[in-house]
Amino acid sequence: MIPSLFTGRGRVAILAVILGLLLSRPIKNISINTSEVSRSMACSTELFQNQSHTLRQQLNVPLKQITDALDKHAKDIKEIGKQIDKAIKPINDALAAIKHGVQKVSGALDTASQECDRMMNSVYDDCTGELSNAYDKCSETLSSAKRYVPHLDITAVCKILDKNQVCVILKPSVVCSPVKTLDNAAEKLANFAVNLVKDIDKWFQFNIIKKSQNDQVNNATKTAKEFIAEIEKALTDKKITFTYIVESMSQLLALSLLLLLTQSFFYLKNYLAKDEFDNIYITSQFKGYDSETREKGQQGVLPLQKKEKKLYTDSTSFMMSPKERSQSVIGISQLILHVLLSALIVFLNYVLFYILFLVNRYGQVNVDVTGKSKINLKVRGGQMAALINTFINNINIENTYEASYNTTVCLPSPTPPDATDIPVLCSAYAAAFLLVLLQAYGARCNRKICAFYYPEQEIERIAFLQKKILYNRTERHTFIKQHVTSIKNQKIAEQRMSVKQMLSAICPCFKVEKTDLKFCMYCGANQGSSRTLQECKNTNCTSTYCSECFNDCGHTCPICRK
């Protein structure tokens, strides 16, 4: 089972352990610090609401004091109003009595005026009647005497008896008008005095109407308690999920160990049942068997050809084969991705802690809001000022308000990352990296252990591997000629259709001198400083091969071979 740790299943097991470490250490700490952020937000909301309510109550104190002072002085003003009513009432009563007396005098004057009119009308009628008779008799007498003095109008003498001129002084409107005038004047004077007293009384009349309104509107989508309760509920759900994941990872680790044991069992089963299973190793025992085969005059397979070295592994060499290196590269790539993910999680853990640490360190802000309000009203002047001052003199309001916003209690208290997180994770990844590097050697150990306990099966597997290599070589000989010809045609076409050739066809200035680039007709490798190409010995053949491929072909050109 121990060699199985160095396989892909072992890598999965160690990565499961690392994931469990991430969940139980950095990710758990991130969850705790996130909960602390939520608590800080809820605390800040509650603190703001409480301090706002306290400040609002303090600001309402002066208004209440003014209202109380007005209520107190309203009683005094009402008492003053009663005293004014008492003072004006005798005057009002006296003027009412005067008005009543004047009304009596006015009635007497009115009666006298009516009697005067009656008497003067009778006198005026007698005057006009008598004068009219006298005027008629005078005119009649003088008209009869006019014939004696025709040129003289003697009737003009009768005009002294004209009633309109003589009796005018006896008209009631002339004689009785002073009495009527005196009657009207007395009545108007009495009405004016009474109305004046009523106006004065109205001016001193008052009523105090007090209306007080203090609207307080507190709108909040959620209270602090509801906010905290929702956060705790959400975090509780997340913690349950987190705990479930951690438990699942623990079970996955146990499952990985079980898979390692199962893999060891199936490896042994396939090793005994299938000769081709994991039969890619050229061991010292295989080399000895191949030497014995050559000594018997039979064909051997060693040394391996160039392409065969990519398929099989020389277990006697400490160096990894190409196949083992490719598997190690894949494992290292997966491990690097996992390391980057873990580094990101650890980085976020430290960044979140550092941000909360800065908030806790520099966010200790105490805001003290203090103020003082003072109202002192005084009115100076005459009696009216004294009256007004009686109302507002004692309104002397002095109020001090203060509010303190202490954010210290709401600052987040972050949990620092465990100092052992990085060393533990580094150790785990170092172990995983070591497992990846030793994966090839672990696979070799698996086969060696099986070969040690089952030597007869190992001999059969060696014979099978040798026959398999020989068979593949025989089958490949018929394929090599076609393959080499195809490679040659492909390289020639690539040279003809190169970018340089296309540019030179479009514009002559890009034309370059024609050079013959030599390459291996078998593997397609170009000639370079680290690779030497050999030409075919046939003068009619222009094929070239690298030394390894030429040796694999038995020092014979596949194209020229019959």
Residues 184-230 have pLDDT tens digits of: 666 676 666 667 656 665 655 555 454 545 454 444 455 555 655 66
Reply yes or no on whether the pLDDT at 101 is more than 60: yes
> Residue 262's pLDDT is what?
74
Give residue-wise pLDDT tens across range 295-333: 888 877 787 877 778 888 887 888 888 888 888 888 888
Mark whether 197 and 124 lie in a shared domain. Answer: yes
Q: Tell me how far apart the alpha carbons of residues 313 and 320 are, in angstroms, rounded to a whole number.
A: 8
Q: Quick check: is 57 in a domain? A: no
Q: Is residue 72 part of a domain?
A: yes
Domain identity same for 439 and 528: no
**pLDDT number for residue 435:** 82
What pLDDT, on the 0 to 100 scale, is given for residue 7?
61
One domain for residues 540 and 486: yes
> Whose CA is closest to 116, among 188, 180, 73?
180
Structure confidence at residue 518 (pLDDT): 67
Residue 217: predicted pLDDT: 47
Label residues 242-272 b or e (16+ Cβ within 10 Å = b): beeebeebeebbeebbebbeebbeebeeebe
pLDDT at 403: 67
Per-chain mean pLDDT for the chain = 70
Of 159, 174, 203, which marks where a domain is finished? Answer: 203
For 432-445, how does the pLDDT look when each residue is reduced to its tens digit (9 = 90+)? 888 888 887 878 88
Are 116 and 261 within one domain?
Answer: no
Q: Is residue 397 part of a domain?
A: no
Number of H helices, E strands in the chain: 15, 6
Q: Show the domain range for 10.
A: 3-47+223-367+409-455
420 within domain boundaries: yes
Q: Are residues 138 and 185 in the same domain?
A: yes
The closest alpha carbon to 228, from 32, 38, 36, belongs to: 38
Q: How many residues does the chain have?
A: 562
Number of domains in the chain: 3
Residue at 236 is within a domain: yes
Given 455, 488, 510, which residue is the final one in a domain?
455
Partner residues linked to 528 by β-bridges: 531
Q: Are both 303 and 335 inside the same structural domain?
A: yes
| 430 and 548 co-located in one domain | no
The residue out of 173, 203, 233 marking a domain boundary is: 203
Percentage of the chain surpassing pLDDT 90?
0
Mark whether 198 and 275 lie in a shared domain: no
146 in any annotated domain: yes
366-376 and 396-406: which strand pairing? antiparallel
Measured distance CA(307)–CA(304) in Å, rounded: 8
Residue 515 has pLDDT above 50, yes or no: no
In a domain, 559, yes or no: no
Residues 270 and 153 in one domain: no
Query: Is 24 in the same domain as 153?
Result: no
* Phi-psi sector, 16: left (phi>0), alpha (psi -120 to 50), beta: alpha
Identify the residue with better confidence: 508 or 314. Answer: 314
Q: How confident is the model at residue 492 (pLDDT cuts 50, 70, 90)?
A: low
